Structure formats: structure tokens, C-alpha cells
Amino acid sequence: MPPEVSFRLNGTIAPMVFVNRERVQGKLTGRWQIAVWIDGRGRFVIDNEMNLWDLTFPPHLLEYRNETQWDQLTPLERQNSTDDGWRRVTPTELVKVLHQEGVMNCPSEWLQTTSSAQLN
């Protein structure tokens, strides 16, 4: 059974994440399109800002947490966690993590054809 995963956008819990292959004029581009739903605010498409948080604060800070693993930690381990289990990711990294964890199923060639060069 796949793990339970939570998502945040700029620190706000996103109850829904939409992962699609991007299309322009009906043709696949080889890129992923990630969008999140924030209650009361709507749907936001996330740009692929590869490692922008190293230079400046990005307009879209996307994070995920494996709730299944987080629940298995002891209270002391949770208290000592500096990030509360949240991991910063780019949209491309999120797709790869979700695929590896078994949360999202897609042909592995879709992951191999998407390179960071194509996403910039």
C-alpha cells in the first residue's frame, strides 16, 4: 500500500495536487505540469524553479511529507526534527518521489525523457 503523503505550497497545506503531462496546442512537451488546490484560494500551477531557493526565496515553495514515515517516529524524534518531516522539492523531483513511493503510476520512460534541461 502506498504511503500517505501531504503537500504544502509556501507553508500552506494543499489538500490536492494535480500531476499532468504538459500539452501545448495538443502536443506533449515532455514536461510535467504540477498544480495544487488551496482551500479558499483555488488552483495554482507551479513553475519548475529548479533550486531557486538556494539563491532567493522562490515564488512557489513546494514541500511534501511522507505521513506514514512521520507517524512511525517517536515523539522525541519528531521533537528533534528541524523540518518537521517536510522536504523541499521542485515539481520534477516531486513526480520522481511520488513514482518511487508508489503513490503515482506512470511508465518509467516518462520519467527518463524528462530532463532538467527540458524543464528550464
How confident is the prediction along the chain (120 residues), in pLDDT tens digits per residue?
788 999 998 889 999 889 888 888 988 887 788 888 888 888 888 866 554 444 555 567 889 999 999 999 999 999 999 999 999 988 888 888 888 888 888 777 667 654 433 333
Q: Which residues contact 8 (CB under 8 A, 6 or more apart)?
A: 14, 61, 62, 63, 64, 65, 86
**Residue at 33 is within a domain:** yes
Give residue for cell 514541500.
63
**Residue at 37 is within a domain:** yes
- Chain centre distance of CA 12: 13
Q: Three cell numbers at 8?
A: 504544502
**Residue at 120 is within a domain:** no
**Residue at 119 is within a domain:** no
Which residues on neighbouring strands pair with residue 33, listed in sequence order?
A: 20
Q: How many domains does the chain have?
A: 1
- What is the rounded CA–CA span in Å between residue 111 and residue 106? 8
Range of the domain at 101: 5-113
pTM of the model: 0.74
